Amino acid sequence: SNAGESTAGRAAPARAQSLLLLSVDRELALLRERVLELAGFAVTAPQGRKDALRALKEKKFDALVITYSMSSKNAVEMRKLFQEQNPNAPTIGIVKEKWQDLKPHIDFAVSGDEGPDGLIEALRTAINRKQLRRVK
């Protein structure tokens, strides 16, 4: 039996990558939060602007996820505040057609129709690219 096997010599598990998930649609935010946590991310999904601003002050994040449920104006403003605290972290936008004007303000766009797998893949790609850029 392997039950008593020592963990000595094994690599420590990597720290979960921390995400700030901003969405006006609370039910969808909670669903995305759960799916992303199951994929190994540490997710903060604040409820409302005040909670989001508090989260930005209290911790650092590896990526920002903004969703099409937010107005473009609020999304751009929150990204600016996010980048002041987390200058090397990418922004992933879950987009619909009406969000075309937001494209210059995000690093990666994922269609809402791509579902959780598309979002998870975009997050891993974006975070890894930013980390590679940071190392150079």
Q: Is residue 3 part of a domain?
A: no
Total number of domains constituting the chain: 1
Question: For the domain that residue 82 is a member of, what is the CATH number?
Answer: 3.40.50.2300
Q: Is residue 1 part of a domain?
A: no
Given this model, what pLDDT does residue 71 score? 84
* pLDDT tens profile 7-38: 455 554 567 899 999 999 999 999 999 999 99
Q: Is residue 10 part of a domain?
A: no
Q: Is residue 2 part of a domain?
A: no
Given this model, what pLDDT does residue 72 score? 81
CB within 8 Å of 45: residues ≥ 6 apart: 21, 22, 23, 29, 30, 32, 33
Averaged pLDDT, 129-136: 57
CA–CA distance, 58 with 52 (Å, rounded to integer): 10
Given this model, what pLDDT does residue 7 score? 47
Given this model, what pLDDT does residue 16 score? 82
Q: Is residue 44 part of a domain?
A: yes
Coil, strand or helix at 17: coil
Given this model, what pLDDT does residue 107 score? 86
> Tell me, what amino acid is at 70?
M
- Percentages helix, strand, coil for the chain, rounded to the nearest 5? 50, 15, 30
pTM: 0.81
Domain of residue 42, residue span: 18-135
Given this model, what pLDDT does residue 128 score? 86
Given this model, what pLDDT does residue 1 score? 47
pLDDT band for position 132 (cuts 50, 70, 90):
low
Q: Is residue 119 part of a domain?
A: yes
Given this model, what pLDDT does residue 6 score? 47
Q: Is residue 7 part of a domain?
A: no
Structure token pair of residue 35: 């799916």
Q: Is residue 13 part of a domain?
A: no
* pLDDT tens profile 62-112: 999 998 888 888 988 999 999 999 999 999 988 877 666 677 778 888 888
